[in-house]
């Protein structure tokens, strides 16, 4: 979906990403493509649900935790849904955006997740403040998430908000999901500057670093909010061996790059 030469990243995007830990890029993918992805996501939702299992925090399979699902329903491996999703997830344009913001020579696809946020009327809740890096099995904070709206999203549908400058705080742990009764991130949120609510059109994206504290208000509309989150990492990242649903059972070598077809380098 697009080529590397037409990357929309400019100096302001890079500055915002480096200073605040996030940026907004409009029209990352064409509007009609985004709307088509939404329709595909809705049709495939039942078949794309992960297998039911007992919640096991040591395996980081919070994707099946009831409390987590009330914040948003996750459908993993978006690239496997159909050819259109694969063309976006593995897009040279998306990879070029990632290289420019991470300032690295090569990037690998890390993960791609379709996200449905149910409205409050269907039991939906706010998305807890959290960082992504503490949940990843890689040895350095060198990844990002490109969160693409698959429909027009006014702020009341619960678009992402970010704590400006929070990547400079370092890794703050897993409290938000694993022990919410002892969540220490809240103090950083209260003492920091939170980005304003955003309006996004289908195809627009927010992009945040893996140490950026982010969350979302409840979806106050009468329909689900649909988005896809595409994760890329610096190709030099090494596998730590930590239990994780992304890497378990793949035979990856600890302290080596994630050389596996699940984590291809995209150029």
Backbone phi, then psi, for 85, in 5-degree steps?
Answer: -60, -45
Confidence tier at 187 by pLDDT (50, 70, 90): confident
- Measuring CA to CA, which residue among 80, 179, 75, 77 is closest to residue 117? 75
Continuous segment of H or E residues that includes residue 71:
helix 66-71
**Quick check: 151 pLDDT over 90?**
yes
| Contact present, 148 and 246 (Cβ < 8 Å) | no
Q: Strands 143-149, 160-162: parallel, antiparallel or unpaired by DSSP?
A: unpaired
> Model-level pTM greater than 0.85?
yes
Question: What pLDDT digit, counting tens, does each position of 100-144 carry?
Answer: 999 999 999 999 999 999 999 998 889 989 999 999 999 999 999
- Residue 179's pLDDT is 75
- Residue 57's pLDDT is 55
Question: What pLDDT digit, counting tens, does each position of 26-65 carry?
Answer: 999 999 999 999 999 999 887 766 554 444 555 555 555 6
Report, as an integer, the average pLDDT of 151-162.
97
- Measuring CA to CA, which residue among 265, 240, 243 is closest to residue 255? 240
The region of weakest confidence among 173-182, 185-194, 250-259 is: 173-182
**Quick check: 17 pLDDT over 90?**
yes
Class of domain 4-50+60-234: mainly beta
Sheet with 22-25: strands ordered across: 22-25, 205-209, 143-149, 225-234, 107-117, 73-76
The region of weakest confidence among 133-147, 171-185, 213-227 is: 171-185
Residue 157 token pair: 């549908």
């Amino acid at each position: 979906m697009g080529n590397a030469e037409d990357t929309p990243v400019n100096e302001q995007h890079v500055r915002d990403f480096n200073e605040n830990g996030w940026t907004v890029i409009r029209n990352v993918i064409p509007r009609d493509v985004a709307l088509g992805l939404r329709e595909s996501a809705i049709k495939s939702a039942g078949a794309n649900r992960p297998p039911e299992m007992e919640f096991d925090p040591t395996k980081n399979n919070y994707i099946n935790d009831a409390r987590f699902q009330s914040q948003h329903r996750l459908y993993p491996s978006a690239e496997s849904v159909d050819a259109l999703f694969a063309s976006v997830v593995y897009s040279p344009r998306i990879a070029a955006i990632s290289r420019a913001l991470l300032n690295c020579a090569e990037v690998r696809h890390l993960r791609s997740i379709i996200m449905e946020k149910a409205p409050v009327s269907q039991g939906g809740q706010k998305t807890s403040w959290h960082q992504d890096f503490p949940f990843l099995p890689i040895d350095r904070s060198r990844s990002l998430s490109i969160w693409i709206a698959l429909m027009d999203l006014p702020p009341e549908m619960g678009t992402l908000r970010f704590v400006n400058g929070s990547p400079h705080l370092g890794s703050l742990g897993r409290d938000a999901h694993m022990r919410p009764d002892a969540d220490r991130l809240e103090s950083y949120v209260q003492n920091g500057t939170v980005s304003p609510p955003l309006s996004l059109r289908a195809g627009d994206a927010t992009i945040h670093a893996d140490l950026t504290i982010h969350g979302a208000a409840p979806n106050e509309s009468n329909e689900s909010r649909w988005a896809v989150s595409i994760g890329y990492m610096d190709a030099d990242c090494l596998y730590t061996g930590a239990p994780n649903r992304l890497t378990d059972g793949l035979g990856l070598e600890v302290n080596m790059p994630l050389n596996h077809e699940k984590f291809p380098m995209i150029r």
